[in-house]
A and B are shown apart, each in its own frame.
Chain A
Amino acid sequence: METLMAYVIGILFAASIYMMLRRSIVKLVIGLIILSNAANLLIFVVSGLTRGSPPLIPDGAGEVTGVVADPLPQALILTAIVIAFSVLAFAVVLIRRAYEVVGTDDLDEMKDTDT
């Protein structure tokens, strides 16, 4: 399972870089969205996938028994998703506004501030 997920993550990263390197700002933002998902998935998989054993302490016992899933990466992803959501919401508004002001969605036309 981890091997399969590793390939999936790799493909996601590759796809996001490809999208970010294209000229349209819409595709740029799509690339950013895929990128944040790839990073989240990476955190999820990297500490190992444990199926069907939630980290719950059974009634009466003082600690968890047997192998359980690590809850921390999931907490991290939850935080990362919330942050990515707000940042990407900003990015979407930004490209809309940029399109209005500059009048194009072509990144090659946006070179005025470059040096």
Chain B
Amino acid sequence: MKLEVVLPILIPLTAGALSLALWRSVRLQRLLGVLATGLLLAAGIWLMRSTVEQGFLVVEMGSWPAPYSIVFVSDVLSAIMVLLTGIIGLAIAIYSLASTPTGHEKFGYYPLMHLLLAGVAGAFLTGDIFNLFVWFEVMLLASFALLTLGGERAQMEGAIKYVTLNLFSSALFLSAVGLLYGMVGTLNMADIAQKVNSLEDPGMITVVSLMFMISFGIKAAAFPLFFWLPASYHTPQVAVSALFAGLLTKVGVYALYRVFTLMFTQDIGYTHNILLWAAALTMLTGVLGAAAQFEFRRILSFHIVSQIGYMLLGLALLSPLALVGGVFYIMHHIIVKTNLFLVSGITYRLMGSYELKDLGGFYRQRPYLAILFLIPALSLAGIPPLSGFFAKFIVVRASLESSEYLIAAIALVVGLLTLYSMIKIWAEVFWKQVPDHVTDGGGLNSGLQPRHTLAYYAPVIGLATCTLIIGLYGQPIYSLAEMAAHQLMNPQLYIDAVLGGQAK
């Protein structure tokens, strides 16, 4: 039994159950929240170490041999994603100590947070397509409840769209799993990958693969299926926004990566071409949507959409370098995007608004916060030497090498427009004077409560450090992404690892 493969799921599940048992004591739940996410991060590091050593880690549930049991598989991509889940989980748990309203904490914020992390980690680790559906639902149900916690009008309106589109996508996913099972008679992803190529009706497989693409496309917020995201992500309290922004859409991206490198590669000219144009349009619409917004979190939400485009671009090109770029981009994006939401939470706490017109004067009053904003913001726009520069550089270079010049041009223009949005936030929130209609300096003078300062700033500083490390010390991260891409490019490695190399 390789414990490290199941620990990232077991830790949050246990912590969630324990938090439920400790329903009355918010203090213990908070302690448990930090403790368990810290353990999750440790488990992620352990998983990463042993995955890098051994290539693949496979655990068969109940020790039934592979195609008959549910398997959990960790390859380098899974390990990277789990590690990032740990980092984000810990950051959010610490940040929540200060930012989450007491009312939310009393109504099950912490159990839901643990359940969400368990669902995310499960989706990253499972090697069974139906099991993936189950983890998706675990994650979704937790996210539904977190999104509506507090029950304000905007949250309800956002939640209806979020719930409907996600349920629709789940039903589509389930139908696709059913049709696929009807054709190949197995649910194990490695087994499916092996059998898909020997079917006599490849057209049907392409149809099913498109159902998967639409379903995961909704979850990943790809063009033209992203409308639920900017309608809902700015409505809950900020720690929830940040958690969703970092992890949820990336589960959809991960599922696309897994399915379209392992199982559905028999008609690349068709499926991956669709992905390519979806990626380009996702980048463009997202960034243009952000340009029209004047609310801190709405701008950031639209940027999630545009960044998803870059990740899909890496998958759509399906060359080794493009996949390296895609994986690198995911790593960079999760950290940076969460961090920007956390910064928006601090400015909200200080001045009581997310509207750019009500904010101002932070550079004069809080120069350190301004720097902490600039690091992820410039990284998101792709300014060297921060992490976003290398991520964009690899993806653009890969598209040039694949002779997709138009796509490369779009990626560069989108980078420029991202910079425009970030400068807009910088100029409005940090650079300009405190607006005249904000009479009392809006809490800027009094500042945060001393006991909250650490919990607010520690995660932001930690994530900004991660961004700097990825940027300045990129070689090990790059080789990690290279290993992940190598495994994705050679699905036979995955199949052999899961099925033990037996030919059937």
Contacts and interface: CB of A to CB of B under 8 A. Distances in A.
Interface of A: 20, 25, 28, 32, 35-36, 38-40, 42-43, 46-48, 72-73, 76, 79-80, 83, 86-87, 90-91, 94-95, 97-98, 101-102, 107, 110-115
Contacts of B152: 101
A101 B164 contact: no
Contacts of B151: 97, 101
B185 A112 contact: no
B171 A87 contact: no
B117 to A, nearest CB: 19
A113 B231 contact: yes
B293 A115 contact: yes
User: Which 7 interchain pairs have the tightest Cβ spacing?
Assistant: A43-B178, A46-B182, A98-B156, A110-B157, A39-B174, A39-B171, A83-B137
Contacts of A72: 181, 187
11 contacts: A39-B171, A43-B181, A46-B178, A72-B181, A87-B141, A94-B148, A94-B156, A94-B159, A94-B160, A111-B157, A113-B235
Interface in B151-165: 151-154, 156-161, 163-164
Contacts of A95: 160
A90 B153 CA distance: 17
B98 interface: no
Given A76-B130, A102-B157, A113-B232, A43 B171 contact: no
A26 to B, nearest CB: 12
A114 B181 contact: no
A86 B292 CA distance: 38
Nearest to B302: A115
A101 B156 contact: yes
B231 A115 contact: yes
Interface in B133-156: 133-134, 137, 140-141, 144-145, 148, 151-154, 156
B336 interface: no
Contacts of A90: 141, 144-145, 163
Contacts of A107: 160
Given A35-B168, A43-B181, A80 B174 contact: yes
Contacts of A79: 130, 134
A90 B140 CA distance: 11
Given A39-B171, A94-B144, A115-B298, A47 B159 contact: no
A90 to B, nearest CB: 6
B226 to A, nearest CB: 11
B122 interface: no
B167 interface: yes
Contacts of A115: 230-231, 289, 292-293, 298, 302
A94 B163 contact: yes
B162 to A, nearest CB: 10
Given A46-B178, A46-B181, A76-B130, A113 B158 contact: yes
Contacts of B232: 113
Interface in B459-484: none
A67 to B, nearest CB: 14
Given A95-B160, A115-B293, A101 B231 contact: no
Nearest to B186: A72
A110 B160 contact: yes
A11 B70 CA distance: 33
Contacts of B145: 90
A48 B148 CA distance: 41
Nearest to B154: A113
Nearest to B178: A43
Contact of B179 (A25, A36, A46, A80): A46
B171 A47 contact: no
Contacts of A42: 174-175, 178-179
Nearest to B180: A46
A42 B172 CA distance: 11
A79 to B, nearest CB: 7
B178 A73 contact: yes
B234 interface: yes
Contacts of B154: 112-113
A80 B137 CA distance: 10
B153 A87 contact: no
Contact of B160 (A25, A48, A86): A25
A95 B134 CA distance: 24
A32 B160 contact: no
Most buried by A among B141, B227, B235: B141
B181 A73 contact: yes
A112 B235 CA distance: 11
Contacts of B134: 79, 83
A39 B160 contact: no
Contacts of A20: 164, 168
A76 B181 CA distance: 11
A98 to B, nearest CB: 4
B218 interface: no
A83 B132 CA distance: 13
A85 B185 CA distance: 26
Interface string B222-265: 00000100111011000000000000000000000000000000
